[in-house]
Amino acid sequence: MKQDLLKIRTLGQLRAAGVAVLPVRLEMRRNLIGRLRAGERILPGIIGYDESVLPEIENGVLAGHHMIFLGERGQAKSRLIRLLIELLDEHVAAVKGCEINDDPYRPICGACRRRLAEAGEALEIEWIGRERRYAEKLATPDVSVADLIGEIDPIKVAEGRYLADEETIHYGLIPRTNRGIFAINELPDLTEKVQVGLFNLMEEKDVQIKGYRVRMPLDLVFVASANPEDYTSRGRIITPLKDRFDVQIRTHYPRTIEDEIAIMDQECGYPASDGMALRIPSFIKEVVAQLTFEARASNEINQTSGVSVRVSINNFESVISNAEKRAVRLGENEIVPRLSDLPSLYASTAGKIELEYVGEDKKEDDLIERLINRAVLKTFDRYFKVDDLRRVSAYFEGGWGVEVSDQSPASEYLEALREVPGLREAVEQLGSFETPGLMAAATELVFEGLHLHQKLNKERHGGRFAYHA
């Protein structure tokens, strides 16, 4: 049936087929209700917002509201906005060749009204997809009213039209998204002049271009994003524009380690390696996610800027890449990240956090090292009690030592598993580790956890670390 509709080419055929054209708000509302009835997720791929953000989005769509998402960087604001496109119909009818996607039943632009009067039921139509009905703009101070709304086109004036004629307008991005969703990222970065033009368009449906008042009853849902610090009376947003957004929805970072890990797994774009299996112990994922949680709780980091989920994703990819580099150099057939790979996180973390104070006594690497140590310690404590590892500690107290390195083959760790009393049992507490790489990773966690609990000393010799009593 849907394919038959796409063959319709005139207004008369459209009317005869009984095809209704809904305003975009009612269209989104109808499609959302359909998904809710079917028990489908309205925004697939969004993790951790089921009890907070998604219900507010559902309410906003059902009510036909303009929405603004407030949150720090890396909270999936842009992704949420882009996924709203899925609530639009796959195709809708529009006047053929219209720059602003006019509804063939009720065209709003002068040219299409004239064409309807001349052609009547023979008015040509076309079917436009969702991509034509969505646009987004990153707000910057150089964005102008002409960019968003329109400008007088001197060529059209030269062709003989009057300046007051609306057909002299070269339409901007917003009119060209008519009957769809228009999104503005970082809304407060628009100049006040542009903000005024926006709120007039959202409420009164008219704009002034070069002093000429133009009525533009566009059918649009406006969605925006902003940092909460900027979206206040003390920020860079004018109050009338705030009032035009019907709801503001507060996003947040993942509230559990499990959600952070689920996002890491979903978003990690690490390519597969031919001939090598990628095996990632669950505790390595926990350490990477916990590192981000520690950063978000640190008073040494500027929390106004936030600590993005991208920190976890990029760190996850970095620790895998370091493990792959080792496997390639040593000719191993599996890629298994371990704690000795964590120094690779310095580079992928440093550029994404902002220190509260920078000086001689405040260095990023020192802070990142402390965050990593806290993350490892908390992860270790989820699996072990120090008293349960007394046999392992006793071995070192007898004068023995063990060396680890991110360049050591996994086979070197098997000797420690044979010789250190209680170590194999400790490794088995972490899961069923049947490969040398997984055993090596588990062994490092046991040693590092005991060190952080001050049961073992650790010394660095170049790229190697020695644990002893």
Mark which of 250, 272, 292 sits at the end of a domain. Answer: 250
Looking at the fold, whether 287 and 231 belong to one and the same domain comes out as: no
Q: What confidence score (pLDDT) does residue 6 get? A: 86
Q: Which of 295, 279, 287 is nearest to 333 (CA)?
A: 279
CA distance 196 to 207: 9
Mark which of 219, 234, 250 sits at the end of a domain. Answer: 250
* Helices 257-267/282-297 angle, 10° precision: 110
Q: What confidence score (pLDDT) does residue 160 get? A: 64
Whether pLDDT at 1 is above 50: no
Which residue is it, tokens 């989820």? 382
How many structural domains is the chain composed of? 2
More confident residue, 55 or 168: 55
pLDDT digits (tens, 9 = 90+) for 104-142: 999 988 889 999 999 999 999 999 999 999 999 999 989
Looking at the fold, whether 167 and 276 belong to one and the same domain comes out as: no
pLDDT-based confidence at residue 146 (cuts at 50, 70, 90): confident
What is residue 276's three-state secondary structure? coil
Looking at the fold, whether 173 and 281 belong to one and the same domain comes out as: no
Which residue is it, tokens 């039921």? 121
Domain that holds residue 395: 257-468
Looking at the fold, whether 266 and 385 belong to one and the same domain comes out as: yes
Residue range 246-254: average pLDDT?
95
Looking at the fold, whether 369 and 296 belong to one and the same domain comes out as: yes
Q: What confidence score (pLDDT) does residue 464 get? A: 83
What phi-psi label fits residue 73: left (phi over 0), alpha (psi between -120 and 50 degrees) or beta? Answer: beta
Residue range 274-289: average pLDDT?
93
Q: What confidence score (pLDDT) does residue 415 get? A: 86
Distance of alpha carbon 350 from the chain centroid: 20
Looking at the fold, whether 237 and 269 belong to one and the same domain comes out as: no
Look up the CATH number of the domain holding residue 208. Answer: 3.40.50.300
Looking at the fold, whether 265 and 347 belong to one and the same domain comes out as: yes
Beta bridge partners of 208: 213
CA distance 78 to 74: 9
Mean per-residue pLDDT over the chain, rounded? 89
Mark which of 213, 235, 250 sits at the end of a domain. Answer: 250
Q: What confidence score (pLDDT) does residue 295 get? A: 96
Strand order across the 180-185 sheet = 134-138, 180-185, 220-226, 67-70, 247-250
Angle at 228 between CA 227 and CA 232, to 5 degrees: 120
Which letter does DSSP use for residue 122 in this model?
G
Residue range 28-42: average pLDDT?
95
Looking at the fold, whether 240 and 345 belong to one and the same domain comes out as: no
Looking at the fold, whether 294 and 229 belong to one and the same domain comes out as: no
pLDDT digits (tens, 9 = 90+) for 401-448: 888 888 999 998 888 888 999 999 999 888 867 789 999 999 999 999
Whether pLDDT at 299 is above 80: yes
Percentage of residues of the chain with pLDDT beyond 90: 64
Looking at the fold, whether 233 and 277 belong to one and the same domain comes out as: no
Looking at the fold, whether 245 and 262 belong to one and the same domain comes out as: no
Q: What confidence score (pLDDT) does residue 152 get? A: 75
Question: Which residues fall within 8 angstroms of residue 124, CB to CB, at 6 or more apart?
Answer: 9, 10, 95, 96, 97
Looking at the fold, whether 150 and 262 belong to one and the same domain comes out as: no
Q: What confidence score (pLDDT) does residue 294 get? A: 97
Distances (CA, A) of 214 to 121, 151, 221, 416: 28, 11, 20, 80
CA distance 286 to 291: 8
Specify the pTM.
0.87
